[in-house]
C-alpha cells in the first residue's frame, strides 16, 4: 500500500503498481528485493500500531497535543516572486535540510521558474542556485517573511508578511506556487481579522474563531492536488497572514485555542456568511442536492413575537418584509453597512436577460422573471425566466445570484417595470442579507454579543445541537 499525504485518519491509501511504499516522511521501502519482505512486515506492524492508536484514542474532548500545521496557497502560476525578511531569511532546499543561503535583514531576493527547475537569485543577481523542487524560506523564530505582490480578497495586490515558513515550489510549465506552512492557531490570527471586522464585540470574534477553526480542520486538503491544503481566498477562508493580524482578534483566537464544534462526536461544518437578512437558510435550500444537515437549519434572527413576523410568508407579504429593515439581530448599522441587511437594484431588461442566458441558455426575448420556489426562510430555491421561445428554470442560490446579475444574496423578490412596448423595461430586485446565509450570521453574532450573549450562546443559536469541544 502507498500512504499519501502523511499519517492519520482520512489519508488516501492505495496499492502500488510497483514495489515501493512512500509514507510521506522520506522513508521509501522496496518490499520486492534487498530484505524487502522484512521491511514490508515492519511497515505492516507499524501501520497496525497506528490503526490501534487511532481506534483506542479517547474522545476529542480529552485529546491533547499541538495545533496541526496547514499549508495555505498564496500565489499560483507566476513566473517569479520576490521576498525579504525584516530579521533575515534562511533558504533551504525542499525535501531536505540542506541550507542554500541566508538573506540579511531587509535584503530582497527572488525565485524564478524555468522549465523543470526553480532558480534562486541574490539581490545582485550574481549568485544563483537552481534546484528541481523549490526552496523553503524560514525567518528567525517569531519573525516573518515578506512576500511581494500578493493579491488579497479585500485589499488588492500588496506586500504581505507571513509567519511560519514559505515554500516556493516549481509548478507546471516553468511556473511557481507559493505556499505558507503554518500551524492552525497562527493561521487563524490571519483569518479571523480578515473574515470579521475587528471592531466587533469580543464574544462575536470568539464565535468566529471557533467557526473558522472548524472550517480549517474540516476542509484542509481540498486543494491537495495543487500542492497545498487551503487557498487564501473566499473559496476556503480569507487569509491575510501577519499583515492582517489585530490584537482583538488575536485574543479571540487565543481564548478559544483548540475549540471546535462537534455534532454527534463528529466535526461540524461551521459555515458562516456576512448577513442573513433576518433569517438563516437550510443548507439544501441554497445548495440543491445536498442532504439536510441537522445543525444547518434556517433560524430566525429575531424574536417572532416581538417583531410580529413568522416565516414562511406569502409572496406579497415577503416582498413587504424585504422592503424595510426590521429590528433583527443582524440589523446593526454601527457594526457594518446598512446595505447588507436590505438592498435593492433596478436592472435593465437586457442586462437581466444577458445574465440569465449565460446561466441557462437562450430563451428568446425576456418577458418576465418569477421566483417559483422558496425555502422556509424565504430564500429563493428556483427562479423561472419566461422567454418568447421557452421557459428556463434556474435552481440553487449561487446560480440564482449569478442569473440576476450577481446580486448579494438569494433572499430576493423580483418585480417587472412596465415599458412602452410589450416587454418590461427593467426589473426591480428587492433583497436581504449578504452571502449564502447558511450557518452563522456574522453581523447577527455581533448583535447578539452586543446584547450580552457569550460566544458559546451565539454558536448554540446558529448551530443547534452542536457542542463546543477542545480538540487539542
pLDDT, tens digit (0-9, with 9 covering 90-100), for 295-352: 999 999 988 777 888 888 899 999 999 998 888 999 988 776 778 899 999 999 999 9
| CA–CA dist 400, 30 (Å, integer) | 54
Q: What is the pLDDT of residues 146-177, one digit of tens each?
A: 999 999 888 889 999 999 999 999 987 779 99
Q: Is the pLDDT of residue 39 over 70?
A: no
Residues 6+ apart with CB under 8 A from 301: 276, 278, 279, 280, 328, 329, 330, 441, 444
Q: Which residue has the higher pLDDT, 33 or 240?
A: 240
Average pLDDT (416-440) is 93
Q: In the prediction, which pLDDT does 307 show?
A: 81
Q: In the prediction, which pLDDT does 74 show?
A: 97
CB-based burial, 42-66: b 16+ in 10 Å, e otherwise: ebeeebeeeeeeeeeeeebeeeeee
Task: Name the pLDDT band for 361 (thresholds 50, 70, 90).
Answer: very high
Q: Is the pLDDT of residue 16 over 60?
A: no
Q: In the prediction, which pLDDT does 64 show?
A: 56
Q: Is the pLDDT of residue 244 over 80?
A: yes
Residue 139 DSSP label: P
Q: What is the pLDDT of residues 250-282, one digit of tens each?
A: 999 999 999 999 999 999 999 999 999 999 999
Q: Is the pLDDT of residue 116 over 90?
A: no
| CA–CA dist 80, 460 (Å, integer) | 46
Q: In the prediction, which pLDDT does 40 show?
A: 43
Q: In the prediction, which pLDDT does 309 show?
A: 82
Percent of the chain at pLDDT exceeding 90: 75
Q: In the prediction, which pLDDT does 245 show?
A: 98
Q: In the prediction, which pLDDT does 49 show?
A: 41
Q: In the prediction, which pLDDT does 153 show?
A: 83
| CA–CA dist 45, 51 (Å, integer) | 10
Q: 181 by DSSP, 3-state: which?
A: strand
Picking from 252, 408, 434, the residue whose alpha carbon sits closest to that of residue 331 is 434
The pTM of the full predicted model, rounded to 2 decimals, is 0.83
Q: Which residue has the higher pLDDT, 3 or 216?
A: 216
Q: Is the pLDDT of residue 62 over 70?
A: no
Q: How many CB atoms lie within 10 A of CB 304?
A: 10
Enter the C-alpha cell of residue 461: 443559536
| CA–CA dist 380, 410 (Å, integer) | 6
The beta strands (E) that lie in 132-229 are given as: 134-138, 145-152, 156-162, 165-170, 176-183
From residue 206, alpha-carbon distances to 34, 111, 340, 466 in Å are 55, 38, 22, 16
Task: Name the pLDDT band for 421 (thresholds 50, 70, 90).
Answer: confident
For cell 473559496, name the residue.
235
Rg for the chain, CA atoms, rounded: 26
Least confident stretch, 85-94, 213-222, 413-422 = 413-422
Amino acid at each position: 500500500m502507498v500512504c499519501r499525504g502523511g499519517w492519520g485518519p482520512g489519508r488516501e491509501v492505495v496499492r502500488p503498481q510497483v514495489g515501493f511504499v512512500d509514507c510521506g516522511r522520506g522513508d521509501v521501502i522496496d518490499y520486492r528485493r534487498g530484505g524487502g519482505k522484512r521491511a514490508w512486515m515492519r511497515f505492516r506492524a507499524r501501520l497496525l500500531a497506528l490503526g490501534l492508536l487511532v481506534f483506542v484514542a479517547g474522545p476529542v474532548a480529552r485529546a491533547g497535543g499541538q495545533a496541526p500545521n496547514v499549508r495555505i496557497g498564496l500565489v499560483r502560476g507566476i513566473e517569479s516572486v520576490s521576498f525579504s525578511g525584516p530579521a533575515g531569511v534562511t533558504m533551504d532546499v525542499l525535501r531536505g535540510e540542506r541550507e542554500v543561503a541566508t538573506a540579511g535583514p531587509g535584503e530582497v531576493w527572488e525565485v524564478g521558474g524555468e522549465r523543470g527547475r526553480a532558480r534562486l537569485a541574490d539581490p545582485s543577481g550574481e549568485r544563483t542556485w537552481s534546484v528541481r523542487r523549490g526552496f523553503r524560506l524560514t525567518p528567525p523564530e517569531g519573525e516573518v517573511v515578506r512576500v511581494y505582490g500578493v493579491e488579497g480578497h479585500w485589499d488588492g495586490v500588496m506586500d504581505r508578511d507571513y509567519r511560519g515558513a514559505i515554500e516556493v515550489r516549481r509548478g507546471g510549465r516553468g511556473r511557481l506556487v507559493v505556499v505558507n506552512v503554518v500551524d492552525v492557531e497562527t493561521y487563524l490570527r490571519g483569518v479571523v481579522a480578515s473574515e470579521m471586522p475587528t471592531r466587533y464585540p469580543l464574544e462575536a470574534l470568539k464565535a468566529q474563531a471557533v467557526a473558522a477553526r472548524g472550517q480549517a480542520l474540516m476542509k484542509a486538503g481540498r486543494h491537495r492536488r495543487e500542492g497545498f491544503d487551503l487557498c487564501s481566498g473566499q473559496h476556503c477562508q480569507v487569509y491575510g497572514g501577519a499583515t492582517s493580524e489585530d490584537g482583538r482578534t488575536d485574543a479571540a483566537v487565543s481564548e478559544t485555542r483548540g475549540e471546535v464544534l462537534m455534532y454527534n462526536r463528529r466535526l461540524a461544518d461551521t459555515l458562516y456568511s456576512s448577513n442573513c437578512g433576518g433569517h438563516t437558510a437550510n443548507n439544501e435550500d441554497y445548495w440543491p442536492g445536498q442532504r439536510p444537515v441537522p445543525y444547518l437549519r434556517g433560524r430566525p434572527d429575531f424574536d417572532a413575537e416581538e417583531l410580529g413576523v413568522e416565516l414562511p410568508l406569502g409572496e406579497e407579504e415577503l416582498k413587504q418584509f424585504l422592503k424595510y429593515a426590521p429590528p433583527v439581530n443582524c440589523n446593526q448599522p454601527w457594526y457594518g453597512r446598512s446595505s447588507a441587511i436590505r438592498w435593492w437594484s433596478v436592472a435593465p431588461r437586457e442586462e437581466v436577460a444577458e445574465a440569465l442566458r449565460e446561466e441557462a441558455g437562450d430563451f428568446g426575448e425576456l418577458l418576465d422573471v418569477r421566483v417559483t420556489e422558496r425555502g422556509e426562510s424565504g430564500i429563493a430555491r428556483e427562479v423561472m425566466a419566461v422567454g418568447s421561445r421557452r421557459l428556463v428554470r434556474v435552481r440553487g442560490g449561487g446560480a440564482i445570484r449569478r442569473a440576476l446579475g450577481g446580486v448579494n444574496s438569494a433572499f430576493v423578490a423580483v418585480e417587472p417595470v412596465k415599458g412602452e412596448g410589450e416587454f418590461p423595461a427593467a426589473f426591480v430586485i428587492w433583497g436581504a442579507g449578504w452571502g449564502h446565509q447558511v450557518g452563522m450570521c456574522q453581523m447577527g453574532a455581533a448583535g447578539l454579543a452586543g446584547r450580552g450573549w457569550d460566544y458559546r450562546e451565539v454558536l448554540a443559536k446558529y448551530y443547534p445541537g452542536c457542542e463546543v469541544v477542545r480538540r487539542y
